Homo-oligomer: A and B are copies of this chain.
Amino acid sequence: MPAPLLPRDAVVDRLLAAFREHGYDAASLGQLSKITGLGRSSLYHYFPGGKEDMARAVFERVDRWCDAELFGPAGTAEDPDRRLARMIEALDAFFAGGMAACLFGNFVVGSARSIFQEPLGAAFGRWIDGFAALAMDKGIPGPEARRRAEDAVMRLQGALVLSRGLDDPAPFRRVLDELPAQLLG
C-alpha cells in the first residue's frame, strides 16, 4: 500500500479551509479533492460517509480547537485577564485577523443547518459558557456574566461578517481590542 500523502489531521485542516470559505453545500468534492491533493477515492477512504463525514470531522476539529485554545485555559489558575489575553491572541490567529469566516457561522444556513443543528447549538452554547465562566472568575455575578458572554459571541460573529463584507479587518480588530473591557470590565 502507498504511504499516506498527508496525515489525517492535515487533511482535515485543508477541508476546514474549504468549508470556511465556501460553506457546506457549496464545497464540492472536486474542490475538496483539489485542496487536499487527494483523489475522490482517497477522501472516501478517510471519510466513508462522504461530504457529511468530512464536515463532521472538520466540525469536531474546530470543537477540539476551541477546548484547547479557547476554553482549556479556563481551567487553569491563571487570572482571568491573562487568560482572556491569550484567547484573544488565539482568536486573532484562527480568524486571520477577521478575514477568515467562522465554520459555525457558515453552518447556520443551507443543509448544514439541519444536519448539524444539535452540535451547532451545543458549540455556540460552549462558547457562551466559556466566556461566562471567565467573567464569573473575575467576580461578575452569574446573570450579568452570561449576558456579557452572549454579547461577546454575538460581537465576534457579527464582526466576522462585517469585516468580510467590508473587506476590512478593522471591525474585527476593534471587537478583539474591546473584548477585555466588554467582558471583564
Copies of this protein, total: 2
Decide yes or no whether A105 CB sits under 8 A from chain B: yes
The reply to whether the CB of A124 lies closer than 8 angstroms to some CB of chain B is yes
On whether the beta carbons of A159 and B165 are closer than 8 Å, the reply is: no
Q: Shortest CB–CB separation between residue A122 and chain B, in angstroms?
A: 10
Contact check, B106 vs A101: say whether CB atoms are below 8 A apart. Answer: no
Q: With A25-B23, A25-B25, A175-B154 in contact, is A124–B166 under 8 Å at CB?
A: yes
The answer, among B21, B153, B158, for a CB contact under 8 Å with A110, is: B21
Binding site for B on A (CB under 8 A): 20-26, 101-102, 104-111, 113, 117, 120-121, 123-125, 150-151, 153-159, 161-162, 164-167, 171, 174-175
User: Chain A's interface: helix, strand, loop or mixed, by majority?
Assistant: helix
Q: Given A158-B159, A162-B157, do A26 and B124 touch, yes or no (CB 8 Å)? A: no
Q: Report the separation of the CA atoms of residues A113 and B106 in the bound assembly, to the nearest whole angstrom.
A: 13
In the complex with contacts A155-B158, A157-B158, A158-B157, A113-B26 CB distance below 8 A: no
